[in-house]
Structure 1
C-alpha cells in the first residue's frame, strides 16, 4: 500500500466510528465541523507509513496505543450521546460504536477478519468503559472529567488484563 492508501485507511479507522455515531444521533458529523481530525489522522498515517520498518503490525506499542484509544473513544462517544440527551443504553451503544466501528471498517477494507470479531476482549472492554462512564455521570452525578477518567480506566484495565493474561472470550462452537 502506498502512503495515500495509508492516509485513507488511517482516516477510515480514526473517524469511521464517530461518523456513524453522529449520523445515527442526527447531528453534524464532527470532522466536517472540525477538519483538524482529518489532519491528525492523515499525519499519523504518514508517520506510520514511514515507520513501518520499525513497527510490526502486531507490535506491543501499537497494541497498547490502541487500548488507550479504544478506552478514550468509548467514553467520549458515550459522553457526546448523553450530552445530546440520549438515554443511557443508547449512549453506551454510541460509545462502543465510536470506539470499534472504524477498526471494523478498516479490517473489512483490508480483507482481514476484524479483531473485534475474534476472541479478543475488545468490544467487551469498550462496553465496560462506556457503562462505567454512564453510571458515574448519568446515574451518580459524578463531575464530567472524573466520570470520563473512571470510564477510561475501566475500559483500559479490562483490555490490559486481557492483553497481559491473553484472556479471551470463548468462541462459538458453530452448528453441529
Structure 2
C-alpha cells in the first residue's frame, strides 16, 4: 500500500482545469486538455501500470480508496456548469415558452438546485404523454366535459393550469395550443 497526497493531487487538478477553462483556446481543445488532466489524475492515483511493473496490486491503493478519492475530486467540480449551459437554457425557454420563467431562473441558481429542478421539470414533461392520451378521450365543449376535465386536473396537478383553461369559452384555442405543445414535447423526447 502506498501513501497518496490526495489534497495536493486534487488541488493541482482543480488548478489545471481552471487554467484550461480560463484560456482562450477553442472549446474542443479545452475539452481534450481537461480529459488529459483527468487521465493524469487517475494515473497518479491508481492506473499507471508503468509504476508497478510486475508487482500488480501490491503497492497500489485499494479499489475502495480509489473510488473515495475519485468522489472527492468530483465533488470539487459539482458547482461547475457546462460551458454551453446558458445558451441551452435560452434555447429551451424559447422552445417551451410555458416554462420560460422557470428556465430563466436557473441562470442564477447553484448547480445542485438546477439538477433538482431539471429532474422535476423532466418528470412534469413526461406526464404530458398520458395527459394527451386522456385528453383525446374527452369531447371538450360537450355538456359533460367539465366534470371530466375537473377529474383530469386532479389526476395531473402539474398541468392543472392548462387543463382548467379548457373550461373557458375560448377552449378551442387553448386545446390547440396544448395539443401543439404536447406534440412538441413528444417530438423532443424522441430525438
- Bigger relative contact order (CA 8 A; separation at least 6): 1
> Looking at CA atoms only, which structure, 1 or 2, has the larger radius of gyration?
2
